[in-house]
Each structure stands twice: as C-alpha cells, then as structure tokens.
A and B are shown apart, each in its own frame.
Chain A
Amino acid sequence: DAKTTQPNSMESNEEEPVHLPCNHSTISGTDYIHWYRQLPSQGPEYVIHGLTSNVNNRMASLAIAEDRKSSTLILHRATLRDAAVYYCILRDQAGTALIFGKGTTLSVSS
C-alpha cells in the first residue's frame, strides 16, 4: 500500500511556481523520498529524490520538512509541458519496488 498522501489535483498558470505537497507521516529513517511524473501516453519519468536535505536539479526542487513527515515538490516556472500526474513515493525500507499511489494531477493553463 502507498504510504504517501497527495491532493488529487492542482491547477497552475503558465510561468508561475507550483508547490506540490506530499505527506508521509510514517516515513522511516532510511526511506528516500522519490518523485516521478507521468505525462499523457508515456511511462513515468524520474523527477527528483532526497533523504533529509533539500535538493535541486534542472527539473525541480524538493523541500523536505525537518521531521521528514512531509515534502514539497517545487516547479519554479510551470510550463504547459509540466501538465502530468505527479507521484510522491517512499522507497521501501527493504528496498523493494516503487509503490505508486494515485498521485496529483497537475493542470497548467496558459
């Protein structure tokens, strides 16, 4: 079962920042927080991951709460191509499969 909670959907305007929240209150000390996104008619695509510290890459930033019970994926300037389903996933302590939840469907308007 998925161990994360995300809003079903969010909306944004083009070129505005987007903050996608994720709650994971039962996270263990060794769980990494992964984010993947799935564009229409494609397989999921890796976005970013982190353990304790905030992380940045060319696609997004990941802000992790100090108690690690929540995190936020930040898209600094949304584009139409960012419209997708975003999945927040905890990599299981045993290092098993990615367990996908329902994710957040992000809509971006021009």
Chain B
Amino acid sequence: KAGVTQTPRYLIKTRGQQVTLSCSPISGHRSVSWYQQTPGQGLQFLFEYFSETQRNKGNFPGRFSGRQFSNSRSEMNVSTLELGDSALYLCASSQTWSLGQTTNEKLFFGSGTQLSVL
C-alpha cells in the first residue's frame, strides 16, 4: 500500500506570493491533517479535514487555509507569504476523524514539503 504522498518536495517562493501544497493520503484514509515544522517552534498543528470538512484548526492566521476533495486528497494554501513561513509542511492521514472518535488512532505522515520564502 502506498504511503502518504506530498508534492512538491521542495519549493522556493518570495515574500508576498502564495503557495499551494498537495497531499495524497493512504488509500482508504479519510482524515488528513497538516503540521508545520520549524527549528524554533517544532511541530505545530495547522488543521484537520475529514470528509471534505475542516474538523479542527490550530492557532495560525487566516493566511493559512486548506481543503479536502471527495477522493480525500488535500491541499493547503498560504497566501501573502512571509519569511517566517519558511518551514517543513507535513501532512498526515488516518482512517478516522480524531474528535469524537477513539483517541488511539495512529497517524501516517508524509515526508513533507520544504518551503523556503526569500
């Protein structure tokens, strides 16, 4: 079974631009969540989608948004890029939606998209 696929692997943008990152979950997984990883802040939760609906959101500005398609693939978008948005963006998939479900569900992470903002 193929793992979580994130594209592109690397991306370089300039301040003020916008960017869209893509995530394809493991086949059969309906939940997709996104994390930002930086050396200073570590791994921080962005948002989670299940059945095309955002179920959970972290403490990030509105410039960060996402969506999920009917085939469970997900995209996240960052508008008006800032230097501080430079980070590794990780996507994770799981079979069930976390909130309201058993809390022992495990997540499967992709290798991430490394975004550099110049």
Q: With A and B bound together, what is the CA distance between A93 and B103 in angstroms?
A: 8
Chain A residues with CB below 8 A from B48, complex form: 97
- B109, A91: Cβ atoms closer than 8 Å: no
Knowing A43-B90, A44-B90, A45-B109 touch, does A97 contact B104 (C-beta < 8 A)?
no
Determine if B43 is an interface residue (Cβ-Cβ < 8 Å).
Answer: yes
Q: With A and B bound together, what is the CA distance between A43 and B90 in angstroms?
A: 7
Knowing A49-B104, A49-B106, A96-B56 touch, does A44 contact B99 (C-beta < 8 A)?
no
- B100, A95: Cβ atoms closer than 8 Å: yes
Interface string of B89-103 (1 = CB under 8 A from A): 010100000111111
Determine if A102 is an interface residue (Cβ-Cβ < 8 Å).
Answer: yes
Determine if B110 is an interface residue (Cβ-Cβ < 8 Å).
Answer: yes
Chain A residues with CB below 8 A from B104, complex form: 32, 49, 51, 91
CB distance from B94 to the nearest CB of A (A): 10
- Residues of A near any B CB (own CB < 8 A): 30-32, 34, 36, 41-46, 49, 51, 87, 91-103
Given contact pairs A96-B56, A100-B42, A100-B43, a sample of 5 additional A-B residue pairs in the complex whose CB atoms are under 8 Å apart: A43-B90, A44-B43, A87-B43, A94-B99, A97-B33
- 7 A-B Cβ contacts within 8 A? A30-B103, A43-B111, A44-B109, A91-B104, A96-B45, A96-B99, A97-B98
- Residues of B near any A CB (own CB < 8 A): 4, 33, 35, 42-45, 48, 56, 58, 90, 92, 98-104, 106-112
